[in-house]
A and B are shown apart, each in its own frame.
Chain A
Amino acid sequence: EPEVTQTPSHQVTQMGQEVILRCVPISNHLYFYWYRQILGQKVEFLVSFYNNEISEKSEIFDDQFSVERPDGSNFTLKIRSTKLEDSAMYFCASSSRQTQYFGPGTRLLVL
């Protein structure tokens, strides 16, 4: 059964450093998403991406964040200058229509 994959599974970084989180969506899906979940809190929407451009973004997704689909299979989330409060699980999701399928997540820890 096709699934969304994410790398790395864990990432530890120093405050102010750039990180890139990678995702391989399900192959025939056209819509891609990033969500995050701070420990003990709700899953929160960050951004959606369709047809090689951002279709929607939340207040959280400020200028420090960017997304890219560099080739036909990968979808990336870049955080340009990490802050302590960026520590969270980051989930990639993809969909062909209504239902979003989530990856296993990347646990980001900013020290």
Chain B
Amino acid sequence: EDQVTQSPEALRLQEGESSSLNCSYTVSGLRGLFWYRQDPGKGPEFLFTLYSAGEEKEKERLKATLTKKESFLHITAPKPEDSATYLCAVAPYNTDKLIFGTGTRLQVFP
């Protein structure tokens, strides 16, 4: 069965304290892996798409990496405005749907 597991569930960081969020997945065939940011009461906001192992994408303080079994979202020198829930989703082959993890709730304190 295709599934996505994210860890940790919650993460509290001091401003400037770098860290990584993990997304482990099992899927019959990976069409793509997606990272989204979700603020409370809002829709998922697209961050990155990764297609193959070894691929990396960067945007401001965020960097996403992909292996054959997991993806990491690295946050460098976070700021309070980076506080949100970060969602990982996979798109298996032969299906339209995204399968989401439960997310990591990140809080960054000044």
Contacts and interface: CB of A to CB of B under 8 A. Distances in A.
A55 B96 CA distance: 8
Q: Is the interface of A mostly helix, strand, loop or mixed?
A: strand
Contacts of B98: 35, 43, 45, 100
Interface stretch (A14-22, A66-74, A103-111): A103-111
Nearest to B101: A42
For chain A, the bracket of interface size reads: 20 to 34
Interface in B74-101: 87, 89, 91, 95-101
Contacts of B100: 42-44
Q: Most B CB atoms within 10 A — which of A4, A50, A58, A101?
A: A101
Interface string A41-59: 1111100101000011010
Given A6-B43, A33-B97, A48-B96, 7 more contacts: A43-B98, A45-B96, A55-B96, A98-B91, A102-B45, A103-B43, A107-B41
| 9 tightest Cβ-Cβ pairs between the two chains A and B | A45-B97, A48-B96, A102-B43, A43-B100, A102-B44, A56-B96, A104-B43, A105-B43, A42-B100
A59 B88 CA distance: 22
Contacts of B42: 104-105
A98 B90 CA distance: 11
Nearest to A104: B43
